[in-house]
Amino acid sequence: MANNRPHESQAAFEARLRKRITILILFCTALLVAVIFGFPMYFMGMSAFKSESEILATPFRWLPETFVGLEHYARAFELAPIGQWYLNSVFAATLQVSVAIFVGAMAGYGFAKFQFRGKRILFALILSIMAVPFQILLIPLFVLVRQFGWDDSYAGLIMPGIISAFGVFMMRQFAYAIPDELLDAARIDGAGEFRIFMLIALPLLAPAAASLAIILFLFSWNNFLWPLVVARDRALLTLPVGMTQFSQPYRGEPIVGPSMAVSTLATLPVALLFLFFQRYFIEGMMVSGIKG
């Protein structure tokens, strides 16, 4: 037995070494990915404080030699109604996400916990909508919105995004995990179905709702094609559409700095949303992965 101890210690040492090498490789890989994705963000944020010539200078300078302060931000607000576009994007995304989560949770809960005729067919239709590219639905959707008189209005900008087929699907998957015994106990106590949904099911779906909120907010915030088609009034434009006006020089004057400032402002809501809902988002993804 004494002769086996050196072999055991050697094997344990090799196992620890392999584990540390694996951790080091994973760390270096994660660091490389973080640098690849983080460098454009850093370049954008720092360029908002550099002069126009310094932004385009080569080689790249990590820190501004000529610090211009908030000059590019002020210039951006002078050139275009950035505040109005910002509010339009926040208003549209917030309303769409709020309604889509509530409707998706209610529909997903119904598909998971109730039996009714045509349930599978109806759910298959919802899944089929997820498989259809939005570009195919663009013209029929625009014609429908125009027939309702919603073109070039907030209603036309917002209404098509308040229902999410993916939201229904995701909430249905999470609703299956709600114990039936808990719902039956509430029914025995005399609670109605809507009250059970609001007081029991909806709070239990909070992690899924947080994950879905980030996904839908990202989609709504970055949506470019639909606002471009439905909104002609400059005051109705959202930030992604309005930012295209910074792609060309203004009266012969380069506006790279203001465009970097606007791009930085456009990333703030998404960054803050993930920062505050990070715990729920990770929890939701973990549960989703276990279910998958």
Q: CB–CB of 134/170 below 8 Å? A: no
C-alpha closest to that of 75 among 234, 242, 246 = 246
Q: CB–CB of 214/222 below 8 Å? A: no
Residue 223: CB atoms within 10 A of its CB come to 21
Residues 6+ apart with CB under 8 A from 61: 50, 54
Q: How far apart are CA 75 and CA 248, in angstroms?
A: 15
Burial pattern 224-249, b for ≥16 Cβ within 10 A else e, equals eebbebbbeeeebbbbbbbbebbeee
* Mean pLDDT per 10-residue section of the chain, whose length is 292 residues: 58 82 92 88 86 79 80 85 90 93 93 90 89 87 90 89 89 90 90 90 88 87 90 87 73 74 86 76 57 46
Residue 18: CB atoms within 10 A of its CB come to 10
Q: Quote the pLDDT of residue 287.
A: 54
Q: How far apart are CA 2 and CA 97, in angstroms?
A: 67
Residue 130 identity: M
Q: Quote the pLDDT of residue 207.
A: 82
Q: How far apart are CA 268 and CA 262, in angstroms?
A: 10
Residue 172: CB atoms within 10 A of its CB come to 21
C-alpha closest to that of 269 among 100, 91, 96, 90 = 90
Token pair recorded at residue 24:
């080091």
- Single pTM value for the model: 0.78
